Amino acid sequence: MEIAVLGAGSWGATLATLLFENRNNVIVWEFDSIRSKKLQDRKIKPFEAGACLPDGLVVTNGFESFKNSEAVLFAIPSRYMRSTCELLKNKGISLDRKLIISATKGIESNTFLRMSEVIEDVFNGVYKNIAILSGPSHAEEVCRKIPTAIASAAENIKTAEKCRDLFMNDYFRVYVQTDIIGVEIGAALKNVFAIASGIIDGLDYGDNTKAAIVIRGLRELTKIGVALGGKEQTFYGLSGLGDLVATCFSRHSRNRAVGQAVGEGKSPIEAEKSLGMVAEGVGNTISAYELGKKLKIELPIVNEIYAVLFEGKKPLKAVNDLMTGSSKQE
């Protein structure tokens, strides 16, 4: 299949390489023209722990070749989803008859739209062709061909299966389902709890505390997801609990790393800047906090992380308030 991949960061480059090695014709679009040329000339790697891009995989800053693509994969930061879609549309690129795959995790601020909804909002009438690819899958491990399982979700099961067939191989296993809402919410909001997990590391607490954050965080994530129309069972699968565990415990997790830096005393701005990459959980904390208020859902962990990131609350105080709150049934 002719596939256009939007985003040449760690995840975009890794998935593009996987698709290329699965015998597809792949073109990768990189927003930064200077970085695009360096990647095309193989003068740099897509990311520090990544492999060099394979010969034959094209990296471009142009759009002409995308008009003939049969599938488009979005692997860009969620904050740029709308502007990128609008850029494509303004360049005369239609997604009407293409398979659209989103590997972008996030909820748009202010509108609270999921990434599939942002794409539909811009292009109008393509929702049935959108599949979400999500699950516990660090680029640093997938690029080394470490066995990985992930979910492909779409409103139409045949669309999910088309996505699955593109990615499936002997180290990358894809399970299909139709709860696109649950999969997208799980993908976006688990990053909030990864920041909380990192703060626990930064405070030099242990596994007991982190386990509590993970399991109670899963409960908060599920409450939001179900209220928005997701299925409860989805949050106990790959794109819910699976992704949450991987993100909260992994040394590869950029959101956990940001949380750790905050726990060690850095400001949120300093923490994200030192990472050198986008940590989706920072922006998604705002979305989770605002959704909690809008839906009238009690979200103690989300509220404390929001207070730490945006209201100057000390991490130690936030943990203490969580631990000394009124006792309830599990």
Q: Which of 98, 162, 190, 223 is catalytic?
A: 190
Amino acid identity for residue 248 in this structure: C
Alpha helix (H) residue ranges in 64-179: 81-90, 115-123, 139-142, 157-167
Kindly report the backbone phi and psi dihedral angles of residue 22, in degrees, each rounded to the nearest multiple of 5, phi listed first.
-85, 15
Element (H, E) at 47: none
45 catalytic per annotation:
no
Distance from first CA to last CA of the chain, Å, rounded? 49
DSSP 204-231: T--HHHHHHHHHHHHHHHHHHHHHTT--
Tokens standing for residue 118: 């942002």
Q: What percent helix, strand, coil does the chain show, rounded to 5? A: 55, 10, 35
Q: What amino acid occupies position 2?
A: E
Q: Which residues are catalytic?
A: 190
